Structure 1
Amino acid sequence: MTTMSLPNPATTTLLLGGRVHSPAAPDATAMAVADGTVVWVGQDSVGRALHPDAEVIDLDGAFVAPAFVDAHVHATSAGLLYSGLDLTGCRTLGQCLDLVRAYAAEHPGVLIWGHGWEEVNWAEGRPPTRAELDEAAGGAPVYLSRIDVHSALVTTALLHRAPGARDADGWSEQGPLARAAHHHVRRAAKESLTTAQRQQAQRLFLKHAASLGVAAVHECAGPDISSPEDLTDLLRLSAAGDVPQVFGYWGEAGGLAVAKELGATGVAGDLFVDGALGSRTAALCEPYTDDPSTSGALYLDADAVAEHLIACTRAGVQGGFHVIGDRAVAQVVAGFAKAENVVGAAALAARHHRLEHLEMVTAEQAARLAGWGVIASMQPLFDDAWGGTDRAYAQRLGLPRGAQLNPFATVAAAGMVLAFGSDVPVTPVDPWATVRAAVYHRTEGLGISPRAAFTAHTRGGWRAAGIQDGISGTLQPGAPATYAVWSAGELVVAAPDEKVQRWSTDPRSRVPALPRLDADAELPRCLRTVLRGRTIHHIEEDRR
């Protein structure tokens, strides 16, 4: 591949000698781009004849495909994970405390922001107590979010900055703080960060996402998860043009005016109907198997859901919710039914409202949601990390309940639009691993085809953000030139009736091929990411 960067979008650029993923020409080796738009795809010789004066980029066999869209991120928190205290690799309680102790010694006098502890598989079977954390931190204020970000460990020093936490729902004298108490301490921790720290974290995250072939992200902001200032800074950074595009969502009931002032795409994202399974705050119809004393937390009921949907629909704005547990899903479906009685099914469907996670949805519920035009924003790496018969979901919920989550095949079969994301920092931004996880679901029959999974992580993300032009997220004439260039091995097409077991390399299938996604296959490596004709990431492939 040549060393030149893509020129200004006003110049015609001809990419030659590659493998282009295009529904217009599945065997294409070349693509022409002008004014930030794909103007032609086809074979090299024809491209040279049609565009003799174009700036040429030799792809040297690389794979060119629509760039990924991550439909659920938390940019600042992700950037803080990259630059702060990363606990995702901790295997014991002692290791967690050792990392806190070392970080406090290296960064005296500052807030310690950490993320990623998960006590489920620790030998001790529990997280550190507050007394243990106080000792390790040496008096520093510490905020350590659990892997699901629905509970956190904090030191006494941070609690001094959040006095309301002690009287709030979810308070624990020595254990993790959840629910409203968690929101109090998270807000105090956020307010302890400087503007420069936040902005540095945001840029770090966006550059990292671009390096993985992601050209757009959906930031799920809100009063309990971030702040108006945080979203404003992120949207301003995105507008600079050298990072992925950001679609901002503001998750607040009654937040229409705030969302409009912020320039948000919708009043959706992390507007919590319930919590998360790992923290035992997802709202369930039956108690948690590993703690029968609780069935989780329901923050919004059907009436509140309906009220939000009616307001958003009448305002012509996309609305939506965070929903995980089966009791929460039932309340959301009932809320949509109530909203339909007021505004009508057509008006409701026209807004393409969205639901985040939707982990415990049934086929009947998915069919009803599809009828209302609802988009399912889901995270396949959740199943990869916690699904199946022997991981965290099974531990929390028992079997068979714990092995039936994230039913991508059920949702797709019902006709719902799928949009895939990471929920970073909950799971990492890793698009090809995400596509593979959606195909190889840990429960037989719940995965989808590679083509459907790839579409959900590309075109589905644009559709979820309200771009319904039919071509965004594809590479065909007239589509935005938003793509990634990959170093990839053999390209294959999954047989339509046996999506995992059989693969085809026959070009006569006329279906655009994709890299192999088998468990032992090496996933593609991103060489270049382009957003509407402008390069936002570029590296040279080392061919030594």
Structure 2
Amino acid sequence: MTTVLTNATVFTGSADAPLHEAVAFEAGRILAVGDAATVRAIAGEDAEVVDLDGALVSPGFVEAHTHLAMLGQTLDKVQLRDAGSLSEIQERLRAARSAQPEAAYLLGASWMFDAVPGGQPTAAMIDEVIDDIPVILDSNDVHSSWVNTAALEAMGITAETPNPPGGEIVRDADGQATGFMLETAAIEYVWSYLDEITTAADRERFLDTAFEAYLHSGVTAATDMALGEPELAAVVRLLERDGRLPFPVTAHWLLRPTGDPERDLSQVTRAVEVRDQVAALDGSEWFRLAGVKFILDGVIDACTAAMRAPYANGTNAEAIWSYQTAAPVAVAADAAGLQLAMHAIGDHASEIALDLVEECGRANGPRLRSPRIEHLESVTDDTIRRMAALGVVASLQPVHCDPAIMDNWMAMLGDERAETGFPWQKFRDAGVRIALGTDAPTAPLEAAHNLFIALTTRSALSPGSAVYHPERAFTPGQALEGLTLAGAVAGEFGDGIGRIVPGGRANLVVLDVNPFTGDPDDLLESTVLRTYVDGELVAGSAASTRE
């Protein structure tokens, strides 16, 4: 069956390309795109014709940075992002415990630093309401964990437990853990504990939940940014179960600093093995390991991002991976043809990231590369110029600078840096390719809300007039390109993903709000009418009606 979507505004993936009126597809591939009469003539008289009444048709959104299994798990947790005080957090935990009296543990997500007295959570604060089972709460940025005493005991955390490289178990004056775990301490101890208590069936359910949520948001491809052994096993089981994934995924193998150069390098060896093993699987066109992920620093909210100058409180943070420890690992990964993805929030961390890219070129010689830096919240003008010269992609998340969550971020910096963050306009002016994502579950996953913030620099969490430097705003074409084509290029997708082009995969989204002509505020209440993957209607209000 040939399908024609007409009476629409059709965006094809590039901000510079003209808008069209209609698109036709058959057998999972785009047949034609252009004016309505021409497309209908090519499609033929027997084609199904869908009149969209002026809606937006776009390539399906490409989520440029996500954590699929973690997102699916987070959607099951106690939600704390909008809890504005410690008492409100405690009340939600108390209510969740009352609703789950047989639970062996309790998980929460997205607490905000400015909701906790002094931004320093303690186990005692949770113990006041739940002290009989482990409670583990992820911070909004998922770079810190807040746990109760029962969780510390379950994880075996004592005064003698060492800080892992790049992380900290926050301790009191007596050397006892307070219940606050920063950066790799959260990864090595909290995440590892959660891996132990999570079943294979749980992980499959988490992935199913994440895929379903994304499809209803119009996402038809995604790049997972923290793949490890448990996540890999879950994806493989889904491929074995269904022969495919709900939409194509590329992934990056998470590298953890160990303090041992040989162990660090062995992680690259494992990444190469995984890449080759996945490529040999049935259904491999749905899943591919594209590269490796370095978490070079932490986050500004916790003063763990590596900055050129100290924070307002006089402290600063060392990089989680120093240049010296990361360089041989990056060179090995690059030599193996693995893409480098580097989390760098602080302005010093992004300098390290570019030093690594340059070292790969010196060590391995010139060739086509597509390195990417994730987040780039505080960044110097010189770094932006270097990124443009080196062809490094800026992977940015508009939802991370929602004005509703910016107060603590700005207070931690405390000087002119608080007013120069997230410099989207400077990346654009320098010619740096920008891919847009959400980093879910560190932020809401809805693509339309991400688009709203990109267009307005206003808050999707707390709508109002407050803005963070509106000169940074994207045009509709620029933002949609970042959410589609640029995300596909950054994620090393091919086969027409991220574009509407004849012969390409018919992965499409239909949104009831047209950002080219409508009020951006309408995006906050927008509806995904249709999501197509390979020409199949898989989600959206129209899909529900059809069912």
Both structures adopt the same fold (TM-score exceeding 0.5): yes
Aligned to 1:511: none
Please show how residues 227-242 of structure 1 align to structure 2 within 5 Å: 227-234=228-235, 236-237=237-238, 240-241=243-244
Q: Is the 8 A contact 2:109 2:140 kept in 1?
A: yes
Given the alignment of the two structures, is residue 435 of structure 1 paired with residue 438 of structure 2, yes or no?
Answer: no
Displacement over 6 Å in runs of 4+: none
- Counterpart check, 1:171 vs 2:169: yes
CA contact (8 A) 2:530 2:543 kept: no
Equivalenced residue count is 496
Taking a change above 3 Å as real, the CA distance of residues 352 and 235 of structure 1, as seen in their structure-2 partners, is farther
Decide which of 370, 388, 393 is 2:388's aligned counterpart. 370
Distance 1:235 1:63, change over 3 A: farther
User: 2-side partners of 1:250 and 1:383: how far apart?
Assistant: 26
Picking from 373, 377, 387, the partner of 1:359 is: 377
Q: Once structures 1 and 2 are overlaid, which stretch shifts more, 85-94 or 327-336?
A: 327-336
Unpaired runs of at least 5, structure 2: 171-176, 256-263, 279-287, 458-467
Deviations 1:354-399 (A, max 9, x none): 11112222222122122222111111111124676xx222111013
Q: Deviations over 1:429-470 (max 9, x none)?
A: 12122223223341243333321121011001110112367x
Name 2:38's counterpart in structure 1.
46
The equivalent residue for 1:190 is 195
Give TM-score, length-normalised by structure 2: 0.84
* Cα drift, residue 198 of structure 1: 2.0
CA distance in 2, matches of 1:129, 1:342: 46
Indicate the SS of the match to 1:370.
helix
Which region of structure 1 is more displaced relative to structure 2, 409-418 or 17-26?
A: 17-26
The alpha carbon displacement at 1:419 in A equals 1.0
- Once residues 542 and 36 of structure 1 are traced to their aligned partners in structure 2, the CA distance between those partners, rounded to angstroms, is 20
Q: Contact 2:252/2:341 (CA < 8 Å) preserved in 1?
A: no
Rounded to whole Å, the distance in 1 between the matches of 2:245 and 2:51 is: 22
2:372 corresponds to 1:324: no
Aligned CA-pair RMSD? 2.6
Cross-structure match for 2:173 = none
Among candidates 244, 265, 272, match of residue 295 of structure 2:
272
| 8 Å contact from structure 2 (residues 374, 396) kept in 1 | yes
Report how far residue 70 of structure 1 moved.
Answer: 0.9
Decide whether aligned partners of structure 1 residues 454 and 127 sit closer, same or farther in structure 2, where only a CA change above 3 A counts: same
Q: Write the mapping of 1:204-243 to structure 2, written as runs, cut at 5 A.
A: 204-222=209-227, 227-234=228-235, 236-237=237-238, 240-241=243-244, 243=246
Quote the offset at 1:333 in angstroms: 2.3
Question: Which residue, 394, 402, 411 being the options, matches 1:384?
Answer: 402
Pairwise mapping of residues 14-413 of structure 1 onto structure 2 (< 5 A)?
14-22=4-12, 26=18, 28-61=20-53, 62-107=55-100, 108-121=102-115, 124-126=117-119, 128-163=121-156, 166=159, 167-169=161-163, 170-172=168-170, 173-183=177-187, 184-222=189-227, 227-234=228-235, 236-237=237-238, 240-241=243-244, 243-252=246-255, 253-254=264-265, 255-262=267-274, 263=278, 264-269=288-293, 271-289=294-312, 291-292=313-314, 294-344=315-365, 346-347=366-367, 350-385=368-403, 391-413=407-429
**Per-residue Cα deviation, 1:193-215 (whole angstroms, up to 9, x for no partner):** 22222221221111011101111
Aligned residue for 1:533? 535
Give the structure 1 partner of residue 484 of structure 2.
Answer: 458
Structure 1 residue 26: Cα displacement: 4.1
The Cα shift of 1:72 comes to 1.0
Alpha-carbon shift at residue 143 of structure 1 (Å): 0.9
Write the letter of the residue equivalent to 1:13.
T
Q: 1:68-122 CA distances to partner (integer Å, 9 max, x unpaired)?
A: 1111111222222222211112111011111112212222232212111113155
Q: Secondary structure at the match of 1:176?
A: strand
Contact 2:509–2:528 under 8 Å retained in 1: yes
- Percent identical among aligned pairs is 26
Structure 2 letter corresponding to 1:465: G
| Alignment map for 1:457-536 (pairs within 5 Å) | 457-467=483-493, 472-488=497-513, 491-492=516-517, 515-517=518-520, 519=521, 524-536=526-538
3-state SS, counterpart of residue 137 of structure 1: coil
Q: Which amino acid aligns with 1:533?
A: G
User: Compared with structure 1, are the counterparts of its residues 74 and 358 closer, same or farther at alpha carbon in structure 2 (3 Å cutoff)?
Assistant: same
Is the contact made by 2:331 and 2:359 (CA closer than 8 Å) also made in structure 1? no
Offset of 1:479 from its aligned partner? 2.8
Matched to 2:218, the amino acid is G
The amino acid that maps onto 1:423 is D
Paired letter, 1:421: G
Structure 1, 351-360 or 435-444: larger mean CA deviation: 435-444
Q: Is the 8 A contact 2:511 2:528 kept in 1?
A: yes
Contact 1:486 1:528 (8 Å CA) reproduced:
yes
d(CA) in 1 for partners of 2:124, 2:423: 41
Partners of 1:101 and 1:113 in 2: CA distance: 12
Aligned counterpart, 1:505: none
Letter of the 1:393 counterpart: W
Q: Distance in 2 between matches of 1:46 and 1:520?
A: 31
SS in structure 2 opposite 1:445?
A: helix
Where structure 1 has 5 or more consecutive residues not aligned to the other structure, the ranges are: 1-10, 493-514
Could you tell me how far apart the structure 1 residues matched to 2:374 and 2:455 are? 20
Q: Structure 1 CA distance, aligned partners of 2:491 and 2:376?
A: 17
Bigger mean CA offset, 155-164 vs 72-81: 155-164
Give, in angstroms, the shift of residue 42 of structure 1. 2.9
* AA of the residue aligned to 2:311: Y
| Structure 1 or 2: more helix by fraction | 2
> CA separation in 1, counterparts of 2:94 and 2:524?
37
Change (3 A) 1:228 1:54: farther
Give the TM-score, by structure 1 length.
0.84
In structure 1, how many angstroms separate the alpha carbons of the residues matched to 2:382 and 2:440? 30
Q: Deviations over 1:201-257 (max 9, x none)?
A: 2211110111011111111114xxxx3122331355377446232212112153333
Distance of 1:383 and 1:251 partners within structure 2: 25
Deviation at 1:422, TM superposition (A): 0.7
> Is the alpha carbon distance of 1:367 and 1:158 closer, same or farther for their aligned partners in structure 2, counting shifts above 3 Å?
same
